[in-house]
Structure 1
Amino acid sequence: MLVRAEESVLVVVDVQARLLPAIHESGRVLRNAGILLKAADALSVPVVLTEQYAKGLGETVEEVRAALPAGTPVLEKITFASTGEPSFVAALEALGRRQVVLCGTEAHVCVLQTALGLLQLGYTVHLVADAVSSRTPANHAAAIDRMRAAGASIVTTEMVVFEWMERAGTPVFKTVSALIR
């Protein structure tokens, strides 16, 4: 199944100040989350962002906050699965889109539990493997394996961006394709 801009919502999970320094290859996560956010903005894909216990883990890092499209809801949660927070589920339902493009940290905790919850709710989940990570590579790999086995589609940042665009030769193509050079 192709990832369609008009059917997608980008969910960014817990890319927070006190957590990110411990994340393996955090620079890769930041770079690719930034590309996804900018592409989502250019292609009118709505974004929902979560923060896990911001009092303890800090707010979303500035690099991600700066790339958020105007009006993006930032939803604080204390459940590991974003779907455990009624405000998150309500925000998704209000958008009326059934494809979720998922990125963030930690792959084996909040991202995994969010993906599993979304799948249970009947959403199609596209996990952006190069825009998620954990403190250890082993946890990252195990999480991707588990999400794949549960029914999530494993994709990359470039897969999502090019599927969202659908075609070359458009004004948005020039803007968005420049993000991945």
Structure 2
Amino acid sequence: MSAQPFTADNAAMLLIDHQVGTMGWVRSIPFESMKANALALARTAKAVDIPLVLTSSMEEYAQGPLLAELQEIAPKEFEARTRRQGVVNAMDDEGFAAAVRQSGRKKLIIAGVTNDVCTVYPTLTALQLGYDVQVVADAGGSPAKMADDIAIRRMEKAGATITSTVQLLAELAENWTSERGGKIIPFVMGLMPQQ
């Protein structure tokens, strides 16, 4: 794994299955925190021109549609999203894998709605394919804390870097006084606890 930092110039962002039904199954993190973190990632990608790849699974079933806010934030990417039909590992879906390859980036920022299913398998596959992966663990969760902990350990043991939303945004900002940093600051501030 390369020690080079992830930047807006070398990374792509993959948001996996942030669907209204599936999000309701997560219990290891509060719903509103997970949602705010996922949307902050999408907003940051758009603000600093990071390729953003979206996918959903079986939208017409219990999983439901992707968050409506994602359509507002990234209408083009929302329209181009890979709609998987039952394929658990998003990287096993040729449409999604092709979209990842087309980003031209070898560093992947991955956030899936459930770390124990949606995130773990594409992360393991991406690592096997030679990608550098950072998993934004708090932009998803799992139905139980134990399931979340086990998934995070498995991904980390396989070589993924586990990070949080604010930590990742700070890494992408590089310098808060730069143009890029200035674009990211509002998304970080929006995640800070309110008095």
- TM-score, structure 1 as length reference: 0.93
Structure-1 residue corresponding to 2:192: none
Structure-2 residue corresponding to 1:90: 98
Counterpart of 2:16, as a letter, is: V
Structure-2 residue corresponding to 1:112: 120
Structure-2 residue corresponding to 1:135: 143
1:12 is paired with a residue of what secondary structure? strand
Structure-2 residue corresponding to 1:10: 13
Counterpart of 2:26, as a letter, is: I
| 1: CA distance, partners of 2:183 / 2:117 | 34
| 2: CA distance, partners of 1:130 / 1:81 | 20
| 1: CA distance, partners of 2:71 / 2:20 | 11
Instruction: Note the 1:8-157 alignment, pairs <5 A.
Output: 8-24=11-27, 25-56=30-61, 57-68=63-74, 70-72=76-78, 73-77=80-84, 78-157=86-165
Structure-2 residue corresponding to 1:171: 179
Over residues 91-120 of structure 1, what are the superposed CA-to-partner deviations in whole Å (9 max), with x where a residue is unaligned?
Answer: 111111011101122111121011111111
The answer to whether the 8 A contact 2:16-2:119 is kept is yes
C-alpha root-mean-square deviation of aligned residues, in Å?
1.5
Q: In structure 1, list runs of 5 or more residues that go unmatched.
A: none
Counterpart of 1:67, as a letter, is: I
Where is the strand percentage greater, Structure 1 or Structure 2?
1
2:19 is paired with a residue of what secondary structure? coil
Q: 1:105 to 1:160 in 2, by over 3 A?
A: same
Q: Moved runs in structure 1, 4+ residues, more than 4 A?
A: none
Percent same amino acid among aligned pairs? 25
| 2: CA distance, partners of 1:70 / 1:55 | 21
Q: 1:137 to 1:36 in 2, by over 3 A?
A: same
* Residues paired across the two proteins, number: 181
2:60 is paired with a residue of what secondary structure? helix
Q: In structure 2, list runs of 5 or more residues that go unmatched.
A: 190-195
1:6 is paired with a residue of what secondary structure? coil
Alpha-carbon deviation of 1:63? Answer: 2.9
Alpha-carbon deviation of 1:69? Answer: 5.8
